[in-house]
Amino acid sequence: MEFKLPMTTKVYIDALNQKFNQSPDLIHKVFDIKGQSIVIHFISYQIKKERLDREILEPLTSSRKPWSVNDLQNRIPLASSKAETNLEEIAGQIIHGSVAVYIEGEKEVITYLLADQEQRSLERAETESLVFGPQVSFTESLITNLNVVRWRLDTDDLVMKKLIVGERIPTEVRIVYLKSLTNEENVETITQRIEDLVVDEIEDTSVLSQLIEDSSSTVFPQLIATELPDRFCHSLMKGRVGVMVDKSPTVLIGPVSLFSFFESTEDLYMRWNMGTFMRLLRILAMMLSIILTPMYVAALTYHYEVIPGSLLVSLGQSRATVPFPPVLEALLLETLIELLREAGARLPTKVGQTMGIVGGIVLGQAAVKAGFTSNILIIIIALSALASFTAPSYLMGTAIRVIRFPMIILAGAWGLIGIAFALCFLVLHLLKLSSLGRPYLAPVYPLSIKDFSDSIIRLPFNKNPKRPTSTMPKDPDRFDENKAKQKKDVNPS
């Protein structure tokens, strides 16, 4: 049946009912005002009923004159009113929480957005919690998130480009950046990639990130997904582009480099020397995490010569009772740790902690006592697991833990040569990666010594007047260096 206004109320109601598959949720009310038939459609739980009563129904029923579309728009002047003629559009509006008003005989339907969404309020960040600094995290509501970002970056420079992605379930995606700062190339790249997407649905930001990343075969994330507004806004201030997706509490940041994943905004809130120490510590931890267990496996399987004399006896004694070769032993324990982590993550927080104790202490102790593993390996594995959790980005931490497995196997098969091969491969792989077309290993390669000041290390703010060049910002200066040096103290002496 063709939907063409004007039509009688009955036909109109039928048409909408059919569109909504006779849904019991779609409520329609017919008013007869001065011989004029007016139909109102809405979905009961999608709208704020008080507002409907107060702002629409009351004026509508108390009027003495007959209504027309123009009257509606003039006399019930809600900001969100829209005139629609298309059934698809009307249905879409209703789904999103609009009230559709149709006056029999008119050519347009007026919709008012009175949406009422169930949502949680702003809460503390869970996965990226900070000890020190802003605690708030994004929520699932795009509107709230936009609101938070606007609140942090209250400038008209802030652009929030809107895109709709998803064939079946359209989802709103926002590309956020600072216009006078961000290089258009980055914005265009990311816009293009999102526009080119042909997908059914975007479940979450991380799904979008996987869809638009440069390389999908690698384990390394190429866009930062964060739930922290301060991290997001800080990145925008560096000239990066942000992507926000409706219904997702995480947001994307790009282009980024490998080292961005080891930066936490906490480093900014601490003094610069502590921040630098933390960043270096995390990078060191990553290296240790990758190299320790494979080295153990290689040394014990092939290269007994490299074991220092003082360690030889204790290593040998603890190995003597273990029935497996070192590779298997290491893989077993690594898997055990992964299991513990996974179980801890799936369980509620309180039970999760107990899991940690049971797994860590009881299992570990028992495994050593039973001669199942050597206690030195337990120390090494625990150390490298710990190290991998220091990465502020959860995805990067996971990536580090995953690449350990092939490295252990290579170390078990060809000892130090296997490790060297794996490391070379890793470096070459990282070299070939890019994030939105920008090099992944910046600022190390391409080398830009100035960018070190706020990536691998962190210099004091007043010594750091330049934005990182790896994102090619339009405005390379944060502030005037010379002006910042002048301090107009009231000098008591």
Partner 1 sequence: MKINYYVKQDVAVHAFYLFFLVHTVQIGAGLMGVPRIIFSESGTDAWMSLILAGIYIHFTAWIMVLVLREYESADVLGIQCDLFGMFIGKVIGCLYVVYLFFLLLSVIKNYVEVVQVFIFPEIPIWLMSFFLLFLMIYCLLGGIRTVVGACFIFFLLTIWLVFTLYKPISLMNWDHFLPIGQSTPFEVLKGAYKTTYSLLGFEVILFVYPYIKNKKAVHLPIQSAIFLTIFLTMLVMVVSIGYFSPDQLKETVWATLALFKIVSFSIIERFDFIAVALWMMVIIPNLVIIGWMILHSLNRMFYVSKKKSLFMISGLLFLASLIIEYRSYINLLTDWTAKIGFWLVFVYPLFIYFILQIKKLWRKGKRA
Partner 2 sequence: MKWISMTIILLLLCAGCIPKSPIEKLGIITAMGFDELEGDKMKGTLVMFQFDPTTSQTSQTVTSEAHTSKGIRNEANQKTSHKLVSGQIRLKVYQDQLASKGLLRYLDTVTRDAKMLPLAYLSVSDVPTSQLLRAEISEDAPNIGKYIERLIEKSITNEMSPDATVVTFLRDYHDIGVDPTLPLLSLEEQRVFIKGLGLFQDDRYVGTLTDEDIFYLLLLQKNLKIGQLQIELPESSMEKYYKKEAADNETEGSLHVSIHKVDSKVKIKPKKNDPSSFKVNLTMRTRLLEVSKSVDLSEKKTIDALEKQIEKQIEKRVSALIQEFKEKQVDPVGFGLKYNTITRKDRLTNESWRDQIPNMKVDINVDVKLLRHGITE
Q: Which residues bind partner 2 (CB under 8 A)?
A: 300-302, 304-305, 307, 309, 312-313, 315-317, 319-322, 325-326, 371, 413-415
**Binding-site partner at residue 428 among partner 1, partner 2, none, CB < 5 to 8 Å by type:** partner 1
Contacts of 285 (CB under 8 A, 6+ apart): 386, 387, 388, 390, 391
C-alpha dihedral, 232 to 236 to 238 to 241, nearest 10°: 110
**Binding-site partner at residue 45 among partner 1, partner 2, none, CB < 5 to 8 Å by type:** none
Task: Kindly state the smallest distance separating residue 461's Cβ from partner 1, in Å.
Answer: 28
**Binding-site partner at residue 346 among partner 2, partner 1, none, CB < 5 to 8 Å by type:** none
Nearer to partner 2, 413 or 423 (CB): 413
**Binding-site partner at residue 425 among partner 2, partner 1, none, CB < 5 to 8 Å by type:** partner 1
Q: What one-character DSSP code corresponds to residue 467?
A: P
Nearer to partner 2, 324 or 479 (CB): 324
Task: Kindly state the smallest distance separating residue 225's Cβ from partner 2, in Å.
Answer: 29
Task: Kindly state the smallest distance separating residue 254's Cβ from partner 2, in Å.
Answer: 28
Mapping DSSP to helix (H, G, I), strand (E, B) and coil, where does residue 171 land? strand
Distance CA 82, CA 94 (A): 12
Task: Kindly state the smallest distance separating residue 314's Cβ from partner 2, in Å.
Answer: 9
Nearer to partner 2, 313 or 357 (CB): 313
Extended strands (E) in 34-140? 36-43, 82-84, 98-103, 109-113
In degrees, to the nearest 5, what angle opens at C-alpha 205 toward C-alphas 204 and 210?
A: 100
**Binding-site partner at residue 301 among partner 1, partner 2, none, CB < 5 to 8 Å by type:** partner 2
**Binding-site partner at residue 284 among partner 1, partner 2, none, CB < 5 to 8 Å by type:** none
Task: Kindly state the smallest distance separating residue 323's Cβ from partner 2, in Å.
Answer: 9
Nearer to partner 2, 312 or 447 (CB): 312
Task: Kindly state the smallest distance separating residue 164's Cβ from partner 2, in Å.
Answer: 35
**Binding-site partner at residue 371 among partner 2, partner 1, none, CB < 5 to 8 Å by type:** partner 2
Nearer to partner 1, 247 or 429 (CB): 429
Nearer to partner 1, 194 or 258 (CB): 258
Contacts of 222 (CB under 8 A, 6+ apart): 213, 214, 215, 254, 256, 433, 434, 435, 436, 440
Distance CA 353, CA 361 (A): 12
Instruction: List the beta bridge partners of residue 29.
Output: 40
Nearer to partner 2, 97 or 418 (CB): 418
H helices of 20-123, where?
Answer: 49-51, 58-62, 69-75, 87-95
Of the candidates 303, 343, 297, which has an alpha carbon nearest to the alpha carbon of residue 322?
297
- Looking at this protein, which amino acid is placed at residue 6? P
**Binding-site partner at residue 446 among partner 1, partner 2, none, CB < 5 to 8 Å by type:** partner 1
Nearer to partner 2, 374 or 393 (CB): 374
Cβ pair 418, 436 in contact under 8 A: no
Mapping DSSP to helix (H, G, I), strand (E, B) and coil, where does residue 120 land? coil
Task: Kindly state the smallest distance separating residue 362's Cβ from partner 2, in Å.
Answer: 23
Task: Kindly state the smallest distance separating residue 383's Cβ from partner 1, in Å.
Answer: 13
> Contact positions toward partner 1, by CB under 8 A?
302-303, 305-309, 311, 414-417, 419-421, 423-425, 427-429, 431-432, 439, 441, 444-447
Nearer to partner 2, 129 or 321 (CB): 321
Distance CA 414, CA 470 (A): 38
**Binding-site partner at residue 432 among partner 2, partner 1, none, CB < 5 to 8 Å by type:** partner 1
Task: Kindly state the smallest distance separating residue 302's Cβ from partner 1, in Å.
Answer: 7
Nearer to partner 2, 102 or 372 (CB): 372
Task: Kindly state the smallest distance separating residue 317's Cβ from partner 2, in Å.
Answer: 6
Nearer to partner 1, 101 or 292 (CB): 292
Cβ pair 55, 78 in contact under 8 A: yes
**Binding-site partner at residue 16 among partner 1, partner 2, none, CB < 5 to 8 Å by type:** none
Show the tokens assigned to 67.
């209504």
Of the candidates 203, 201, 225, which has an alpha carbon nearest to the alpha carbon of residue 213?
225
Nearer to partner 1, 303 or 369 (CB): 303
**Binding-site partner at residue 315 among partner 2, partner 1, none, CB < 5 to 8 Å by type:** partner 2
**Binding-site partner at residue 447 among partner 1, partner 2, none, CB < 5 to 8 Å by type:** partner 1
In degrees, to the nearest 5, what angle opens at C-alpha 274 toward C-alphas 268 and 279?
A: 75
Q: Which helix (H) or strand (E) holds 365?
A: helix 364-369
In degrees, to the nearest 5, what angle opens at C-alpha 142 toward C-alphas 141 and 148?
A: 95
Show the tokens assigned to 190.
């990311």
Cβ pair 278, 456 in contact under 8 A: no
Task: Kindly state the smallest distance separating residue 441's Cβ from partner 1, in Å.
Answer: 7
Task: Kindly state the smallest distance separating residue 376's Cβ from partner 1, in Å.
Answer: 12
Contacts of 194 (CB under 8 A, 6+ apart): 163, 165, 173, 175, 208, 212, 243
